[in-house]
Amino acid sequence: MLFAFLLVTFIASAQKISFEAGFTNPVRYGNGVSRTFLNGNQLGFSAIIPLKNNFSLLTGALYTVAYNDKLQGYPSSTEVHYYTFGHFADVPLRAMYTLPLSKSVKLFAYAGPNLNIGLSQLEVKTSTYDQISAATTNLYTDSLYRVNLQLGAGGGIQWNKVTLKGGYDFGILNLNQTTTDKLFQKGWYATLSYEFGELSLFDKKVKKEKKDTKKKKK
């Protein structure tokens, strides 16, 4: 609840709000397990809170849907086929620096934490290997923690109201809840966004109060 309150406060303070969509490639890896590469699409909104000297805070809320189709071979031509469908929410909080090249073109770079929350990760498993049974499970119920704190960096270019950016996040929390082996999730992303907001809710409130005060004086 506290985190949600802080996010709403940050967004209400933002002077630039954008809708964004793009691609992402989460990777789950760890000791003693084969890597699982997920391919997905990401969409949501981002908000920029200006500070000073071209610095700002970049936050927002993003939804990701991703999938994986992995085939693992075993002796005697047996195999296990894994189909994974994941749904995630991301809430970044980055420190960003912007370098204006002209009135319409800007370069920027950012770094900071990202809160990755697992909503659902359904795994459908088919098997011809007698030691592994076919099953359908939600990995967040049976084997993975939902909360994944990440640290990452990225950058991009803005032209007028259109922004292209990309970055990489590294998971720093162990997601394995069944054994002592460590399991992490990281990945890259690339998004295209369009800015549709200019003024913060607080700015609008202040302007309305000033306007009402002028009316009263008249």
Query: Residue ranges per domain, the chain?
Result: 2-217
- Of all residues in the chain, the percent with pLDDT exceeding 90 is 61
Work out the pLDDT band at 2, boundaries 50, 70, 90.
very low
pLDDT for the residue 217: 53
152 vs 199: CA distance, rounded Å: 28
Supply 94's token pair: 């980055």
Return the SS3 of 133. Answer: coil
pLDDT for the residue 157: 97
Task: Domain 2-217: state its class.
Answer: mainly beta
Question: Mean pLDDT of all residues in the chain?
Answer: 86
Given a cut of 70, whether residue 12 has pLDDT beyond it is no
State how far the alpha carbon of 139 is from the alpha carbons of 68, 81, 92, 131, 218, in Å.
Answer: 13, 16, 24, 20, 65
- Of all residues in the chain, the percent with pLDDT exceeding 70 is 83
Average pLDDT, stretch 100-108?
Answer: 96
Residue that wins the pLDDT comparison between 14 and 135:
135
Minimum mean pLDDT range among 40-49, 134-143, 168-177: 134-143
pLDDT for the residue 133: 83
Supply 26's token pair: 């989460």
Q: Are 37 and 27 in contact (CB under 8 A)?
A: yes
- Note if the pTM is more than 0.85: no
Given a cut of 80, whether residue 147 has pLDDT beyond it is yes
How deeply is 122 buried, as exposed, middle or buried, from its count of CB atoms within 10 A (0-12, 13-18, 19+)? middle
Average pLDDT, stretch 27-42?
Answer: 90
Handedness of CA 12, 14, 18, 21 (dihedral sign): negative
Work out the pLDDT band at 62, boundaries 50, 70, 90.
very high
172 vs 100: CA distance, rounded Å: 33
Given a cut of 90, whether residue 41 has pLDDT beyond it is yes
E-state strands within the chain? 16-30, 36-37, 39-50, 55-74, 78-100, 105-127, 135-138, 147-159, 162-171, 183-197
Given a cut of 60, whether residue 6 has pLDDT beyond it is no
Average pLDDT, stretch 128-148?
Answer: 88
